[in-house]
Amino acid sequence: MKQDRLQQQISFIVEIDKMKDILRRTNLINDKRRENDAEHSWHIAVMAVLLFEYADSEVDILKVIKMLLIHDLVEIYAGDTYAYDKEGYKDKAKREASAAKRVYSLLPVDQALELRGLWEEFEEHKSTESRFAAAMDVLQPLLLNYETEGISWKPHSVVSSMVRERIGMIKDGSSSLWEFSTNLIEDAVKRGYLAE
């Protein structure tokens, strides 16, 4: 066993524990507190395992899971940008690229290249796996908001057109989940969870 390699891997593992401190705007379904990035990543990875049969094209599920587990590691340094924060999105890509360089450089070169490559692939949304992974990434907050009766939509004056635009990438990964999502939005409006 190469001690330097192991030490790099352990340092990375210790560093990514910081994901647990990055709070998102969505609340947990059965709790009043906000979800953290680690919880989000775990949840969408499990969702992918359960829902990959609905992908429009065959996907390498292990690759999807890897993408989902590592795609938000950059937020340790770049912070979480709220989905409906137009100002925050202006420099999001730049902040996250800088953070990706920093976090993935902690790993041995082969693993750094693999995980950084998966992160970049996820961000590009061109491969079948990245499109399905992105669908999970936006479907999950939709579910949490629906189940909490719009708890994070209401204070930010989020309306249905904004949510439809945000989840638009679901249709690139799964037409079945797109139909489900649009029906969920309509029901959220009817129930008063989300303004038209």
Closest residue by Cα to residue 107 from 2, 5, 3: 5
Closest residue by Cα to residue 119 from 156, 74, 85: 74
CATH superfamily, domain at 3-191: Hypothetical protein af1432 (1.10.3210.10)
Tell me the sheet residues that pair with 159: 195
**Contact criterion met (CB below 8 Å) for 153 and 27:** no
Judge if pTM exceeds 0.85: yes
pLDDT tens for 76-135 read: 998 888 778 788 778 988 999 999 999 999 999 999 999 999 999 999 999 999 999 999
User: Domain boundaries in the chain?
Assistant: 3-191
The Cβ-side half-sphere exposure at 25, using a 13 Å CA radius, reads 19
Average the pLDDT over each of 54-68, 87-101, 129-143 and give the range with the smallest value. Answer: 87-101
pLDDT tens for 2-40 read: 779 999 999 999 999 999 999 998 889 987 799 999 999
Three-state SS at 38: helix
Q: Which has more confidence, 84 or 159?
A: 159
Residue 194: both structure tokens together: 């989300």
Q: At residue 1, does pLDDT exceed 70? A: no
